[in-house]
Structure 1
Amino acid sequence: MLKLIGKDGRETDIGTAVWADLCEPEESEIAEVERRFGFKVPDREDLSEIELSSRLRTHEGALVMSAPLIARHGDAGVLSPTGFILAKDALVTVRFCQMTAFDQVHEEFARGDHEVGGQEVLVRLLEDIIDRSADRLERVAEDLAKASHSIFREPEKDAPKKRLGRETRRLRALMVGVGQASEQMVKVRHAFLAIGRIANFVLDRCEPKIPEALHDRLVAVKHDIESLDEFESSLTGRVQLLIDAATAFISIEQNDVVKVLTVVSVAGVPPVLVAGVYGMNFHDMPELSWPWGYPFAWALMIVSTILPVLWFKWRDWL
């Protein structure tokens, strides 16, 4: 699909367009844009290159830039290569997924009454992408705050003790959620760092030089990215803390079970020994002729079970 935006912000024909937006383009649309602007439109493979020299370069007087941007795919976001070609009088964008930021800028320019240029479109796109990156990080921070509250909450005094299996499943689900939040952070970081490099590249290489107002807005984009980078770094530390804490709590719960099993096994050794002794049935065993021999054996087994348990409790091992 090809959208052509003129200087008035509304859709126009190829001859007067200052913004050509290629979304999942067909070959005929690519050829039409190449004839109009006189440079080759990069394909998906070109835009997926990770070398800095491939992502930021000049070609035939135009600035050719690419960045992995987040596109909606089902319930999750995916990184999709996106290209920006800034010529002297126009901007060409190439993308392979629907992206809300581009649609939002389309609508914004269509409602406006001021003249639109290629540089203005690029700056507005970068601003909107950064705003959406900030919103995504804010949602991630909220998800991490909920996970933290659930992991570190104090148990209610009168609440029944939770079963190990249920508690382990709960903590595992929290760890999955934290891991998904971390994955989202990585995608957002890839996007806004690439946008930061584009902003620097435009400020350094754009000819003719961009107007002062747009220059100040690009500088503001750089500052926003620096603050987002710091915020993302703090979230990364929080993610690691939550994962370590959830893992530790699972280990503690499992250790409690092992401790109980250990006490039971130790407490069960003396009565087994007593039962083994009195199960030998020797003729000269004096207890065989006692009227209270059987109760005595039972009492001995019970006492030998209780004493190890009391010993564990005294040492605060149980």
Structure 2
Amino acid sequence: MLKLIGKNGEETTLDQAIWADLCEPTDEEIAQVEKRFEVHLPTRAQLSEIEASSRLRSIKGRLIMSAPLIARHEDIGVLSPTGFLLLPDALVTVRFCQMTAFDQVLEAIEKGDHAVTGQEILVRLLEDIVDRSADRLERVAEELASASHAIFREPEKDSKKHRLGHETRRLRGLMVSVGLASEQMVKVRHAFLAIGRIASFVLDRCEPKIEQALHDRLVSVKHDIESLDEFENSLTGRVGLLIDAATGFISIEQNDVVKVLTVVSVAGVPPVLIAGVYGMNFHNMPELAWPWGYPFAIALMVLSTILPVWWFKYRDWM
């Protein structure tokens, strides 16, 4: 789909367009734009290249830039390669997914009361993308705060029954949530760092030089990205802490079970030994002739079970 926007935000013809936005373009639309602006539009494969020399190029005063931006696909945030071609008199964008930032900027231009240039449209796009990246990081921070509260909460006193299985499933679910949040952070980081490089590239290479107001806005975009980078680094450390904590708590729960099983096995050895001895039924075993021999053996087995348990309790091993 090809959208052609004029100086006042209205849809216009290809000859008068100052913004040509190609979303999942056809070969015919690509050919039309290439002919009108005398440029070669990069393919999706070219936009996906990660080398800085491939993402940021200047050819005869025309800036060709690309960045992986987050787009919604089947309710999942995915990185989609996006191209920006800043020409002396226009802006051409190439994308392969619907992105809210582009729709919002288009709506703002249509409602505006002054003419815009390709440079201003690019700055607006970068600003909106950075704002959305900040919003995504804030949501991730909230998710991590919720996960942190759930992981480090005090265990419920009435949750002794089936506690191990319940706690393990709960912590495993929290680890999955933290992992998904971490994956979202990686995507956001890829997006805003690429936008930061584009902002620096435009400031250094744009011809003709952009006006001072737009220059200051691009500098502000760079500063915002630097602060977002610091914030993302702090979230990364928090993710590592939460994953380690959840793993540690699962290990503690399992160790508690192992301790219980150890106590049970140790406490069960003496009565089994006593039962084995009295099960031999030797003729000269004096207890066989006692009227109270059977209760004596039972009492001896009970006592031999209680003593190891008491010893573990006394030593605070359980």
Deviating runs (4+, > 3 A) in structure 1? none
Name 2:31's counterpart in structure 1: 31
The aligned runs of 1:82-231 (5 Å cut-off) are 82-156=82-156, 158-161=157-160, 163-231=163-231
Q: 1:146 & 1:48 partners in 2: Cα distance?
A: 35
Q: CA deviation at 1:79?
A: 0.2
Q: CA deviation at 1:10?
A: 1.2
Q: CA deviation at 1:154?
A: 1.8
1:71 is aligned to 2:71: yes
**SS at 2:16's partner residue?**
coil
Contact preservation (8 Å) 2:71, 2:80: yes
Q: CA deviation at 1:59?
A: 2.0
Q: CA deviation at 1:259?
A: 0.6
Name 2:292's counterpart in structure 1: 292
Instruction: In structure 2, give the amino acid aligned to 1:28.
Output: E
Structure 2 gaps of 5+ residues are: none
**SS at 2:70's partner residue?**
strand
Deviation per residue, 1:14-65 (Å, 9 max, x gap):
0110000000000111111011101101110110111000000012331000
Structure 1 gaps of 5+ residues are: none
Contact preservation (8 Å) 1:39, 1:60: no
Q: CA deviation at 1:206?
A: 0.3
Q: 1:161 & 1:148 partners in 2: Cα distance?
A: 22
Aligned length: 317
**SS at 2:14's partner residue?**
coil
Instruction: In structure 1, give the amino acid aligned to 2:57.
Output: R
Instruction: In structure 2, give the amino acid aligned to 1:200.
Output: S
Contact preservation (8 Å) 2:61, 2:206: no
Q: 1:194 & 1:122 partners in 2: Cα distance?
A: 14
1:281 is aligned to 2:281: yes
1:259 is aligned to 2:276: no
Q: CA deviation at 1:133?
A: 0.2
Q: 2:29 & 2:272 partners in 1: Cα distance?
A: 86
**SS at 2:64's partner residue?**
strand
- In percent, how many aligned pairs have the same letter? 79
- Normalising by structure 1, report the TM-score: 0.98
Name 1:44's counterpart in structure 2: 44
**SS at 2:40's partner residue?**
coil
- Normalising by structure 2, report the TM-score: 0.98
Q: 2:154 & 2:240 partners in 1: Cα distance?
A: 21
Q: CA deviation at 1:113?
A: 1.1
Instruction: In structure 2, give the amino acid aligned to 1:270.
Output: P
Q: 1:249 & 1:160 partners in 2: Cα distance?
A: 16
Name 2:11's counterpart in structure 1: 11
**SS at 1:169's partner residue?**
helix
Deviation per residue, 1:240-272 (Å, 9 max, x gap):
100100101111111111110000000000001
RMSD, aligned CA: 0.8
Q: CA deviation at 1:74?
A: 1.7
Contact preservation (8 Å) 1:66, 1:84: yes
Q: 1:25 & 1:35 partners in 2: Cα distance?
A: 15
Name 1:62's counterpart in structure 2: 62
